[in-house]
């Protein structure tokens, strides 16, 4: 039946209706807080960005952030919003002072949307401004005004206080992970020397900017002291380590551009040009940048980002004067890095040795890589190891952040997931048995081993992590000893050869239920013994209890519940202080007495409750 297309079908949504109907346009994916890209962190960031902009303009040296249960509170000590405009800035689109470049220069938020999105997507949103011993407060729910106080006298320091609770109608079963918030706040501190941020009593402060950032994030000493260079509107820090891949931290006006953009592309190009010209040798770019650890921060007037979440810079020009972002960065890196290397010959020698070592390894595996690529291409055409999806992370589709690939073991598990998945955004890669323990091996094994060669081809990460085809790489194995072992082997592989996948928080463990507790009226899936006991108590006498021994035992119909909107993912996080070489040596190296004693002392015998 054809729908009636008439004047009645044309609707005009008000600002809050549009945001709530299309939240992905404003905050990316909704999520439950498991991923750092989830919307609840974007809401927090949008509020903090305004406080950071105040600091950048020279007002307010402290920002207080607290998260208690599901309530977020941000307090700055800037100028405060003009009291007559407090209601408007929180509830009228395209309203804000940042359209006046004389008042706010080189800020993050320019489009007058962010704070309104937080308001519309929160069940409770309270904004208060204090200016010259006067206060104005307005309370909202889902963007609707609940109460508006008259301007009144108050004895508090100037500034803005915003508190909000993300709406559970949109963010189901959400929770904030403190490590994600801490990373966000640390980066703000590194990029704003002199700013103090206090999060639930913890203090973040940086004196040395990007130098502090690299020192804090490196898990091992660099091959040479960090090169730290600063200029007008630009700051960079560079060193090399012994890891595979390239590790970058890029920022625009204090915004962490996790997906890079124009400035990062230019930075990588500038490093190659500077090194080639300094040594007067036409090195391969990959040999120069392999194992690099670097950071860049630039300030741009009126930056253009590729989405409201501002994770990728799209600007081609630095300012209204028409200075190219690329030329500005490349010229700075070439000039300043060249000067530095001429003045620091020992560091120059260390860089040269690293490049030569990378060149030797690349040439040693070049023949193997060619054969491996042909094998991967043939395998992708003729076998069923990869069941791909239609949307990919490196596309511009609105659902790109939802894209996932499940790495499974065995036909039964991969079959259940394949039949249950969303074919638009979820892919499946099937392993054949346990993968190889890659600890202590060189990257040559990635191409010689068929499983790993096909896996890297499926992920599309051989040349550059920016080409990654899925935002979420999910290890989906049985919740038994063999499944745990496969998890460790895969994590070891990624830590060894593709650590950026973990650093950039793309790797997850799929949590599936251990038990099904049901009676004739209700079924409850339980992910722990505690949940099982609670379910038994809820359902009453003698419910049927099933212990899932493996993913293959869960029917496709049931699996839909576990990989849909209620999916439970445990992120694989590399924490500050994790000394990766020592961890891998202990857990994945030769079987030492120390490890044997560790296993014995931590042995748990599981009771069969089925």
Q: What is the pLDDT of residue 104?
A: 40
Q: Do 108 and 52 meet the contact criterion of CB atoms below 8 Å apart?
A: yes
537, part of any domain: no
533, part of any domain: no
Which residue, 169, 204, 239, sits at the end of a domain? 204
Burial status of residue 527 (CB atoms within 10 A of its CB: 0-12, 13-18, 19 or more): middle
Q: What is the pLDDT of residue 101?
A: 45
Say whether 554 sits in a helix, a strand or coil.
coil
Q: What is the pLDDT of residue 111?
A: 44
Pair of tokens at residue 32:
């439950």
Give the whole-angstrom CA distance, residue 202 versus residue 81: 27
530, part of any domain: no
Give the whole-angstrom CA distance, residue 461 versus residue 439: 19
Whether the predicted pLDDT of 426 surpasses 60: yes
In this prediction, residue 604 has a pLDDT band, given cuts at 50, 70 and 90, of: low
**397 and 492: one domain?**
yes
Q: What is the mean pLDDT of residues 230-255?
A: 88
Lowest mean pLDDT among 3-12, 408-417, 525-534, 574-583: 3-12
Highest mean pLDDT among 154-163, 294-303, 490-499: 154-163
**501 and 482: one domain?**
yes
In this prediction, residue 578 has a pLDDT band, given cuts at 50, 70 and 90, of: low
% of residues, the chain, pLDDT over 90: 42
- Distance in angstroms between the alpha carbons of the first and the last residue of the chain: 51
371, part of any domain: no
**Phi/psi-derived region of residue 161, left when phi > 0, alpha when psi is between -120 and 50, beta in every other case:** beta
541, part of any domain: no
Alpha helices in 404-503 (DSSP H): 411-420, 444-448, 450-459, 481-497, 499-503
**199 and 56: one domain?**
yes
Q: HSE on the CB side for 372, CA within 13 Å?
A: 22
Q: What is the pLDDT of residue 300?
A: 82
Which CATH number do you get for residue 401? Answer: 3.40.50.670
466, part of any domain: yes
* Nearby residues of 399 by Cβ (< 8 Å), 6 or more positions away: 24, 29, 391, 424, 425
**242 and 260: one domain?**
yes
Whether the predicted pLDDT of 496 surpasses 50: yes
Lowest mean pLDDT among 94-103, 347-356, 417-426: 94-103
**325 and 402: one domain?**
no
In this prediction, residue 443 has a pLDDT band, given cuts at 50, 70 and 90, of: confident
Which residue, 361, 392, 411, sits at the end of a domain? 361
Q: pLDDT digit string (tens) for 256-277?
A: 887 778 889 999 999 999 999 9
Q: How many CB atoms lie within 10 A of CB 5?
A: 8
Give the residue carrying structure tokens 């207080």: 64
Which residue, 204, 229, 246, sits at the end of a domain? 204
**What is the domain range of residue 219?**
210-361
Give the whole-angstrom CA distance, residue 274 versus residue 97: 40
Pair of tokens at residue 209:
């900017």
Which CATH number do you get for residue 101? Answer: 3.30.565.10
Q: Do 239 and 224 meet the contact criterion of CB atoms below 8 Å apart?
A: yes
User: How many domains in the chain?
Assistant: 3
Rg (the chain; Cα; Å): 26
Could you tell me whether strands 62-68 and 196-199 are parallel, antiparallel, or unpaired per DSSP bridges? parallel
Q: What is the pLDDT of residue 433?
A: 80
* Nearby residues of 109 by Cβ (< 8 Å), 6 or more positions away: 46, 49, 50, 53, 96, 98
Give the whole-angstrom CA distance, residue 376 versus residue 574: 30
**79 and 177: one domain?**
yes
* Nearby residues of 322 by Cβ (< 8 Å), 6 or more positions away: none
Whether the predicted pLDDT of 189 surpasses 50: yes
**183 and 231: one domain?**
no
In this prediction, residue 605 has a pLDDT band, given cuts at 50, 70 and 90, of: low
Give the whole-angstrom CA distance, residue 16 versus residue 120: 5
Whether the predicted pLDDT of 424 surpasses 70: yes
Give the whole-angstrom CA distance, residue 583 versus residue 415: 34
Mean pLDDT of the chain: 85
Q: Which carries the bigger pLDDT value, residue 189 or residue 313?
A: 189
Q: What is the mean pLDDT of residues 264-293?
A: 94
Q: What is the pLDDT of residue 102?
A: 45
Whether the predicted pLDDT of 601 surpasses 90: no
Whether the predicted pLDDT of 320 surpasses 70: no
DSSP 361: H
373, part of any domain: no
Q: pLDDT digit string (tens) for 47-102?
A: 998 999 899 888 999 999 999 989 999 999 999 999 999 998 998 865 544 444 44
Q: What is the pLDDT of residue 395?
A: 83
529, part of any domain: no
Q: How many CB atoms lie within 10 A of CB 318?
A: 24
Pair of tokens at residue 187:
């980066």
Q: pLDDT digit string (tens) for 372-421?
A: 777 666 665 455 688 999 999 888 787 888 899 999 987 777 888 888 89
Which is nearest to 550 in space by CA: 386, 384, 408?
Answer: 408
Pair of tokens at residue 10:
């044309």
Q: What is the pLDDT of residue 29?
A: 82
Q: How many CB atoms lie within 10 A of CB 429?
A: 22
Whether the predicted pLDDT of 349 surpasses 50: yes
Q: What is the mean pLDDT of residues 459-476?
A: 88
Q: What is the mean pLDDT of residues 548-563?
A: 82
**317 and 350: one domain?**
yes
Give the whole-angstrom CA distance, residue 590 versus residue 593: 10
Give the whole-angstrom CA distance, residue 117 versus residue 130: 22
**297 and 219: one domain?**
yes
**142 and 279: one domain?**
no
Whether the predicted pLDDT of 193 surpasses 80: yes
Say whether 92 sits in a helix, a strand or coil.
coil
pTM for the whole structure: 0.76
Say whether 516 sits in a helix, a strand or coil.
strand
**34 and 52: one domain?**
yes
Burial status of residue 39 (CB atoms within 10 A of its CB: 0-12, 13-18, 19 or more): buried
Alpha helices in 5-106 (DSSP H): 15-21, 24-27, 39-56, 86-91
Which CATH number do you get for residue 243? Answer: 3.30.230.10
Would you tell me the crossing angle of helices 325-343 and 262-279 to the nearest 10 degrees? 40
Cα four-point dihedral sign 466, 467, 472, 474: negative
**113 and 217: one domain?**
no
Helix H or strand E encompassing 263 = helix 262-279
Q: Do 584 and 439 meet the contact criterion of CB atoms below 8 Å apart?
A: yes
């Amino acid at each position: 039946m054809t729908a009636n297309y008439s004047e009645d079908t044309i609707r005009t949504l008000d600002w809050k209706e549009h945001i709530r109907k299309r939240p992905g346009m404003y905050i990316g994916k909704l999520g439950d807080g498991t991923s750092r890209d989830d919307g609840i962190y974007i809401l927090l960031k949008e509020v903090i960005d305004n406080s950071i902009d105040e600091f950048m303009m020279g007002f307010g040296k402290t920002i207080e952030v607290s998260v208690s249960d599901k309530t977020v509170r941000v307090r700055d000590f800037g100028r405060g919003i003009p009291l007559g405009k407090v209601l408007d800035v929180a509830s009228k689109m395209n309203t804000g002072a940042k359209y006046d470049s004389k008042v706010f220069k080189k800020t993050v938020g320019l489009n007058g949307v962010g704070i309104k999105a937080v308001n519309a997507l929160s069940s409770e949103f309270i904004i208060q401004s204090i200016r010259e011993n006067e206060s104005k407060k307005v309370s909202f729910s889902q963007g609707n005004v609940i109460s508006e106080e008259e301007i009144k006298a108050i004895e508090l320091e100037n500034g803005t206080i915003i508190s909000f609770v993300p709406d559970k109608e949109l963010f189901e079963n959400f929770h904030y992970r403190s490590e994600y918030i801490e990373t966000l706040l640390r980066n703000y501190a590194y990029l704003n020397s002199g700013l103090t941020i206090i999060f639930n009593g913890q203090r973040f402060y940086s004196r040395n900017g990007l130098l502090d950032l690299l020192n804090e994030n490196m898990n091992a000493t660099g091959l040479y002291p960090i090169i730290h260079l600063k200029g007008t509107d630009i700051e960079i820090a560079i060193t090399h380590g012994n890891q595979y891949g390239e590790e970058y931290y890029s920022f625009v006006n204090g915004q962490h551009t996790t997906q890079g953009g124009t400035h990062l592309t230019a930075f990588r190009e500038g490093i190659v040009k500077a090194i080639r010209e300094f040594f007067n040798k036409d090195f391969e770019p990959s040999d120069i940048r392999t194992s690099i650890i670097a950071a860049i921060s630039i300030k741009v007037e009126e930056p253009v980002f590729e989405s409201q979440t501002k994770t990728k810079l799209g600007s081609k020009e630095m300012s209204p004067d028409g200075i190219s972002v690329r030329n500005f960065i490349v010229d700075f890196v070439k000039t300043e890095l060249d000067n530095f290397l001429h003045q620091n010959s020992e560091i120059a020698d260390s860089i040269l040795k690293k490049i030569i070592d990378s060149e030797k390894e690349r040439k040693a595996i070049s023949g193997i890589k060619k054969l491996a690529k042909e094998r991967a291409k043939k395998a992708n055409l003729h076998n069923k190891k990869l069941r791909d999806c239609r949307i990919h992370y490196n596309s511009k589709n609105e659902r790109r952040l939802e894209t996932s690939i499940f790495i499974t073991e065995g036909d039964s598990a991969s079959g259940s997931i394949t039949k249950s998945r969303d074919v638009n955004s979820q892919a499946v890669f099937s392993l054949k048995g346990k993968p190889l323990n890659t600890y202590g091996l060189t990257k040559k094994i990635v191409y010689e081993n068929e499983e790993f060669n096909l896996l890297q081809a499926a992920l599309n990460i051989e040349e550059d992590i920016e080409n990654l085809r899925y935002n979420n790489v999910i290890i989906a194995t049985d919740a038994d000893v063999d499944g745990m072992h496969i998890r460790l082997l895969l994590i070891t592989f990624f830590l060894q050869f593709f650590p950026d996948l973990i650093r950039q928080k793309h790797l997850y463990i799929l949590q599936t239920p251990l038990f099904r507790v049901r009676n004739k009226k209700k079924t409850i899936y339980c992910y722990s013994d505690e949940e099982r006991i609670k379910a038994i108590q809820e359902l009453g006498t003698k419910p049927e209890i099933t212990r899932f021994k493996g993913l293959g035992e869960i029917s496709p119909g049931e699996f839909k519940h576990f990989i849909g909107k209620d999916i439970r993912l445990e992120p694989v996080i590399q924490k500050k202080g994790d000394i990766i070489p020592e961890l891998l040596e202990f857990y994945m190296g030769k079987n030492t007495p120390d490890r044997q004693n560790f296993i014995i002392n931590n042995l748990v015998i599981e009771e069969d409750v089925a």
